[in-house]
């Protein structure tokens, strides 16, 4: 799977609007260090991707879920999550929903957690 194919998918799914796809080095690192990546293909076209980090025992952080707009609402996203859950062993999946996907995850059975916290790379640690 080439970097260009991933960038193209991120654009074609709209996820590219919220991921640093113009920053090549950062994107390369994002792909190199993810340790649970599930992909969906139609022929040789990449149509969906779930990019996660898992310890395969306790937690899986699902960072990016993207399905090409032309292929959405066919169950591909659900299957990508199913495979991510399956390959994560006993890990629970944790994620942040994009604004357009806030109604998606509860529909699939995800529980909302009101105590999630974020600290950005440049946020001062008090
Ligand atoms: C969110 C996304 C991954 C969903 O993928 P998908 O393949 O279209 O989803 P599925 O076909 O598996 O949908 C499963 C169910 O959720 C519903 N659904 C799909 N997108 C939804 C949305 N945005 N809001 C609410 N429900 C949605 C489907 O209709 C389907 O319902 P059904 O089982 O009753 O038919 C896809 O729309 C996408 O890539 N969006 C842009 C990028 C993005 O926002 N990613 C999430 C980052 S957190």
Dihedral angle at the C-alpha atoms of 31, 37, 40, 44, nearest 10 degrees? 50
- Residue 107 Cβ inside 6 Å of ligand 1? The answer reads yes
Long-range contacts of 4-11 (CB under 8 A, 24+ apart): 5/46, 6/31, 6/46, 6/49, 8/46, 9/46, 9/47, 9/48, 9/49, 9/66, 9/68, 10/64, 10/66
- Residue 21 Cβ inside 6 Å of ligand 1? The answer reads no
- Residue 97 Cβ inside 6 Å of ligand 1? The answer reads yes
pLDDT tens-digit readout, 7-63:
999 999 999 999 999 999 999 999 999 999 999 999 999 999 999 999 999 999 999
Quick check: 66 and 48 in contact, CB under 8 A? yes
Strands 59-67 and 92-94: parallel
pLDDT tens-digit readout, 82-100:
999 999 999 999 999 998 8
Per CATH, the number for 3-107 is 3.40.630.30
Name the residue at shortest CA distance from atom 33 of ligand 1: 75
- Residue 50 Cβ inside 6 Å of ligand 1? The answer reads no
């Amino acid at each position: 799977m080439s970097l260009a194919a991933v960038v193209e998918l991120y654009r074609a799914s709209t996820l590219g609007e919220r991921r640093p796809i113009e920053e090549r080095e950062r994107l390369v690192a994002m792909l190199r260090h993810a340790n649970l990546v599930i992909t969906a293909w139609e022929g040789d076209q990449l149509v969906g991707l779930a990019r996660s980090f898992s310890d395969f025992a306790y937690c899986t952080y699902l960072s990016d879920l993207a399905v090409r707009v032309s292929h959405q609402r066919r169950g591909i996203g659900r299957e990508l999550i199913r495979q991510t859950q399956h390959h994560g062993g006993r890990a629970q999946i944790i994620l942040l929903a994009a604004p357009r996907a806030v109604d998606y995850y509860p529909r699939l059975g995800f529980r909302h957690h009101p105590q999630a916290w974020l600290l950005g790379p440049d946020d001062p640690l008090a």
